[in-house]
Amino acid sequence: MAVTLTRKINGTYRTKLKSHTPITIAIPKHLMDSIKRIPRLSLESFKESRGSSTDWYNLTFRIKIALDLAKRYYTDEASEALVDVFEDCLNLYRNFKSTSKWSITEEQYDSILMGLDAMDQIQDETTRRDQLEVFKSSDLYVKKLIEKINRNEDI
Protein backbone atom coordinates (compact mmCIF):
# COMPACT_ATOMS: atom_id res chain seq x y z
CA MET A 1 0.00 0.00 0.00
CA ALA A 2 1.42 3.37 -0.99
CA VAL A 3 0.49 6.87 0.00
CA THR A 4 -1.15 8.78 -2.83
CA LEU A 5 0.40 12.23 -2.85
CA THR A 6 -1.82 14.77 -4.57
CA ARG A 7 -1.08 18.46 -4.24
CA LYS A 8 -3.81 20.77 -3.00
CA ILE A 9 -5.18 22.89 -5.85
CA ASN A 10 -5.30 26.09 -3.86
CA GLY A 11 -2.41 25.19 -1.60
CA THR A 12 -0.13 27.84 -0.23
CA TYR A 13 3.02 26.14 -1.48
CA ARG A 14 5.59 28.16 -3.34
CA THR A 15 6.83 27.12 -6.72
CA LYS A 16 10.46 26.25 -7.02
CA LEU A 17 12.49 29.19 -8.26
CA LYS A 18 14.32 28.73 -11.54
CA SER A 19 17.71 30.36 -11.45
CA HIS A 20 21.13 29.77 -12.88
CA THR A 21 22.73 30.92 -9.66
CA PRO A 22 22.39 29.00 -6.42
CA ILE A 23 19.92 30.47 -3.95
CA THR A 24 21.25 28.30 -1.16
CA ILE A 25 24.17 25.98 -0.88
CA ALA A 26 23.50 23.12 -3.27
CA ILE A 27 23.49 19.61 -1.88
CA PRO A 28 24.91 17.02 -4.28
CA LYS A 29 22.64 14.10 -5.20
CA HIS A 30 24.83 11.50 -3.47
CA LEU A 31 24.53 13.43 -0.19
CA MET A 32 20.76 13.75 -0.60
CA ASP A 33 20.59 10.00 -1.10
CA SER A 34 22.65 9.53 2.07
CA ILE A 35 20.24 11.73 4.01
CA LYS A 36 17.33 9.60 2.80
CA ARG A 37 19.19 6.39 3.66
CA ILE A 38 19.71 7.12 7.38
CA PRO A 39 16.08 6.51 8.47
CA ARG A 40 15.97 3.36 6.33
CA LEU A 41 19.03 2.02 8.14
CA SER A 42 17.30 2.81 11.43
CA LEU A 43 14.23 0.90 10.26
CA GLU A 44 16.35 -2.08 9.25
CA SER A 45 17.99 -2.11 12.68
CA PHE A 46 14.55 -2.56 14.26
CA LYS A 47 13.82 -5.44 11.93
CA GLU A 48 17.07 -7.08 13.02
CA SER A 49 16.26 -6.39 16.71
CA ARG A 50 19.21 -4.00 17.04
CA GLY A 51 17.15 -0.80 17.28
CA SER A 52 17.85 1.97 19.75
CA SER A 53 16.25 5.19 20.93
CA THR A 54 18.34 7.07 18.36
CA ASP A 55 16.92 4.90 15.58
CA TRP A 56 13.43 5.54 16.91
CA TYR A 57 14.09 9.28 16.92
CA ASN A 58 15.38 9.18 13.32
CA LEU A 59 12.20 7.47 12.13
CA THR A 60 9.80 9.52 14.19
CA PHE A 61 11.36 12.84 13.22
CA ARG A 62 11.41 12.02 9.50
CA ILE A 63 7.78 10.82 9.55
CA LYS A 64 6.70 13.91 11.54
CA ILE A 65 8.25 16.16 8.89
CA ALA A 66 6.45 14.19 6.16
CA LEU A 67 3.18 14.49 8.06
CA ASP A 68 3.50 18.25 8.54
CA LEU A 69 4.45 18.83 4.89
CA ALA A 70 1.53 16.65 3.77
CA LYS A 71 -0.89 18.62 5.97
CA ARG A 72 0.27 21.89 4.41
CA TYR A 73 0.72 21.03 0.76
CA TYR A 74 -1.10 17.78 -0.03
CA THR A 75 -4.67 16.47 0.11
CA ASP A 76 -6.25 15.12 3.28
CA GLU A 77 -5.87 11.54 2.01
CA ALA A 78 -2.09 11.83 2.10
CA SER A 79 -1.98 13.40 5.55
CA GLU A 80 -4.42 10.82 6.98
CA ALA A 81 -2.23 7.98 5.75
CA LEU A 82 0.83 9.60 7.31
CA VAL A 83 -1.02 10.09 10.62
CA ASP A 84 -1.35 6.29 10.75
CA VAL A 85 2.37 5.91 10.02
CA PHE A 86 3.24 8.40 12.76
CA GLU A 87 1.01 6.47 15.15
CA ASP A 88 2.96 3.31 14.27
CA CYS A 89 6.17 5.12 15.25
CA LEU A 90 4.63 6.05 18.59
CA ASN A 91 3.41 2.47 19.06
CA LEU A 92 6.97 1.30 18.48
CA TYR A 93 8.03 3.32 21.52
CA ARG A 94 5.01 2.24 23.57
CA ASN A 95 5.95 -1.37 22.88
CA PHE A 96 9.50 -0.68 24.03
CA LYS A 97 8.18 0.94 27.20
CA SER A 98 6.11 -2.12 28.07
CA THR A 99 8.65 -4.82 27.09
CA SER A 100 12.00 -2.99 27.53
CA LYS A 101 12.98 -4.36 24.12
CA TRP A 102 12.94 -2.65 20.73
CA SER A 103 10.93 -4.76 18.30
CA ILE A 104 8.80 -4.09 15.27
CA THR A 105 5.97 -6.03 13.70
CA GLU A 106 5.89 -6.73 9.98
CA GLU A 107 2.83 -4.48 9.66
CA GLN A 108 4.59 -1.59 11.40
CA TYR A 109 7.68 -2.15 9.27
CA ASP A 110 5.68 -1.97 6.03
CA SER A 111 3.75 1.08 7.22
CA ILE A 112 6.85 3.03 8.25
CA LEU A 113 8.67 2.05 5.05
CA MET A 114 5.69 3.40 3.07
CA GLY A 115 5.94 6.63 5.08
CA LEU A 116 9.65 6.96 4.34
CA ASP A 117 8.96 6.45 0.62
CA ALA A 118 6.31 9.18 0.79
CA MET A 119 8.74 11.51 2.59
CA ASP A 120 11.36 10.97 -0.11
CA GLN A 121 8.81 11.96 -2.75
CA ILE A 122 7.61 14.95 -0.72
CA GLN A 123 11.20 16.09 -0.23
CA ASP A 124 11.77 16.03 -3.98
CA GLU A 125 8.55 17.97 -4.69
CA THR A 126 8.72 20.71 -2.04
CA THR A 127 11.12 23.61 -1.77
CA ARG A 128 13.89 23.71 0.78
CA ARG A 129 12.34 26.86 2.22
CA ASP A 130 9.08 24.98 2.88
CA GLN A 131 11.01 22.08 4.36
CA LEU A 132 12.93 24.40 6.68
CA GLU A 133 9.71 25.94 8.04
CA VAL A 134 8.28 22.51 8.78
CA PHE A 135 11.62 21.27 10.10
CA LYS A 136 11.55 23.90 12.84
CA SER A 137 8.02 23.10 14.00
CA SER A 138 8.59 19.33 13.79
CA ASP A 139 11.83 19.65 15.74
CA LEU A 140 10.02 21.50 18.53
CA TYR A 141 7.22 18.91 18.56
CA VAL A 142 9.56 15.92 18.78
CA LYS A 143 11.65 17.61 21.48
CA LYS A 144 8.49 18.10 23.55
CA LEU A 145 7.57 14.49 22.89
CA ILE A 146 10.96 13.38 24.22
CA GLU A 147 10.52 15.57 27.29
CA LYS A 148 7.22 13.80 27.97
CA ILE A 149 8.98 10.46 27.57
CA ASN A 150 11.72 11.50 30.00
CA ARG A 151 9.07 12.48 32.56
CA ASN A 152 7.50 9.02 32.09
CA GLU A 153 4.26 10.47 30.73
CA ASP A 154 2.15 8.63 28.19
CA ILE A 155 2.64 9.60 24.57
Nearest C-alpha neighbor of 65 from the set 143, 147, 139: 139
- Across the range 114-128, mean pLDDT stands at 91
Instruction: Kindly write down the DSSP assignment for every residue of 16-79, as one continuous string.
Output: PPP-SS-SS----HHHHHHHHHHHHHHHHHHHTT---HHHHHHHHHHHHHHHHHHHHHB-HHHH
- Across the range 119-136, mean pLDDT stands at 89
Condensed to tens digits (0 to 9), the pLDDT of residues 61-110 reads: 999 999 999 999 998 999 999 999 999 999 999 999 889 999 999 999 99
29/22: higher pLDDT: 29
pLDDT confidence band for 1 (50 / 70 / 90): low
Residue range(s) defining the domain that contains residue 111:
36-150
Q: Is position 96 within any domain?
A: yes
Q: Does residue 122 surpass a pLDDT of 90?
A: yes
Total domain count, the chain: 1
Q: Is position 10 within any domain?
A: no
Q: Is position 15 within any domain?
A: no
Q: Is position 18 within any domain?
A: no
73 neighbors 129 (Cβ within 8 angstroms): no
Report the alpha-carbon distance of residue 153 to residue 141 in Å, rounded: 15
23/100: higher pLDDT: 100
Q: Is position 135 within any domain?
A: yes
